[in-house]
Amino acid sequence: MPRHRILLRNTVPASKRAELEQRIFYASSAIEDYRLVEEADKVVAVEVVTGPGADPADLARKVDLLIANDVLPQRTRPAVVVWQSPHTAGQIEDDVWARLEQTSAVVEMGEGLYATGGLFTDLLSVLDDMLCEIAVDTFGAVPYRYPTLISTDVLRRGGYLDAFPQFLMTASRLHSDVESYGAFLSGLDAAADTSTYLDQFGEHLGHCLPPSMCFHTYRQLEHRQLPEDAAVFTARGKSFRFESRYRRGVERLWDFTIREIVFVGDGDRIAEQRKDFMRETWRLVDELGLAGQAEVAHDPFFGNEATSQRALAQRMMELKYELRLPVEGGRSVAAGSFNLHGDKFGSAFHITLPDGSTAQTACVGFGLERLTYAFLSQRGLDVDRWPASVRQRLQSRIPA
């Protein structure tokens, strides 16, 4: 396959290498693989592997644009750890993923897509039950089941489109026209590429695949006044983010399962609720016997001049924390996040408190596939070695 060496117009300090790595595939869909070239603690070039027909000059322009807009403005800071598990990772088994594949507990279904079954699915449900019980029993969350599709306008008003365009996955349909249907059917068999062919006859549906559950909650509460000073909602559902070539097993999926808890109310109260939910999460991680830590984090904002300012504000004000859990291969995954939004969503969706003031929001989310995989990486596949609370719940799910 073609290889090209791109000399960077602006070199990237080694301290910002990670910022470049997590964005490079979004520079161009033509990039299929890459290697960063470093000299004297700076990234000076990128060697890329592409499909046939890629224009090296165009690739260089796009990589330079990405670096100028989204990498160099970032103000990197060392990770600030706010909690450390009392457990150590110990002997993480490096063959867990291979064994899950061998037993068909995880089955690759396409790019960024995995089916799960057997022990993996049962454990995922058990862990979700434990999280849901915290949300409902301790915080009084009202459970909801939301539709898969979400209005594109809701995502726009919620600020998702201009913050994370790289992750967006949309829904389309064929033109509603009898002649269009006929033309589509007549050429379908001869179409060389089905996706490209569909684009000729399709249009945006006005809906997207949801990147998280919380936008459904904000839409649900739109133009409503809360009867009390605070409300809590929880939902489990499928979320979708285009992870490009960053996909890796169940660590980086295009289609994943999330348990989310949304707090709506007075700013001081929801800030305290977020803190309390974090404490409950640390207790659960301890009960599960997992190693891990919580860090101050920021979202991967993309594509405009406000990128670095948004990320810096999140870190400086500690608006976002992530729960990171070790997995096999010396890696770790962000299995949970704990976020404060201020009145951003209350204002966007006109959600008010009993006194008429704008409601503030916070949300807590857990990637259930990541959490399950981290548990299996650390505790192994031998159920007898698992914590009693997990074994008991698992047994209750298995028919006698």
Average pLDDT, the chain: 93
Q: Does 238 lie in the same domain as 319?
A: yes
Residue where a domain stops, chosen among 28, 49, 71: 71
CA distance 81 to 322: 10
CA distance 113 to 241: 11
What six digits make up the tokens of 156?
């726009």
Q: Does 292 lie in the same domain as 224?
A: yes
Q: Does 203 lie in the same domain as 296?
A: no
Q: Does 178 lie in the same domain as 158?
A: no
Where helices occur in the chain by DSSP H, the ranges are: 17-21, 56-66, 96-102, 118-133, 152-157, 160-163, 178-188, 194-201, 214-220, 267-288, 307-316, 344-348, 368-379, 388-397
Supply the pLDDT for residue 77: 76
Dump pLDDT digits (tens) for 123-145. Answer: 999 999 999 999 999 999 999 99
Residue 213 has pLDDT above 90, yes or no: yes
Give how many domains the chain has, as a whole number: 3
Residue 302 has pLDDT above 80, yes or no: no
CATH assignment of the domain containing 13: 3.30.70
CATH assignment of the domain containing 224: 3.30.930.10
Residue 115 has pLDDT above 60, yes or no: yes
Q: Does 115 lie in the same domain as 57?
A: no
Q: What are the φ/ψ torsions at residue 322 (nearest 5 degrees)? A: -125, 140
Residue where a domain stops, chosen among 71, 96, 114: 71
Nearest to 345 by CA among 163, 221, 207: 221
What six digits make up the tokens of 252?
């980086």
- Domain contains 303: yes
Output the CA torsion 345→347→352→357 (10° steps): 130
Dump pLDDT digits (tens) for 45-97. Answer: 999 999 888 999 999 999 999 999 889 888 777 789 999 999 998 778 889 99
Q: Does 372 lie in the same domain as 276?
A: yes
Got the DSSP string for 275-333?
HHHHHHHHHHHHHHT---EEEE------SSTTHHHHHHHHHHTT-EEEEEEE-GGG-EE
Residue type, 355: D
Residue 331 has pLDDT above 80, yes or no: yes
> Residue for token digits 């001081």?
268
Residue type, 98: A
Q: Does 177 lie in the same domain as 159?
A: no
Supply the pLDDT for residue 303: 57
Q: Does 62 lie in the same domain as 88?
A: no
Where helices occur in 170-239 by DSSP H, the ranges are: 178-188, 194-201, 214-220
**Lowest mean pLDDT across 193-202, 240-249, 276-285, 316-325:** 316-325
- Domain contains 56: yes
Domain that holds residue 133: 81-163+210-397
Supply the pLDDT for residue 94: 85
Residue 288 has pLDDT above 70, yes or no: yes
> Any idea what DSSP says for residue 357?
P
Q: Does 221 lie in the same domain as 339?
A: yes
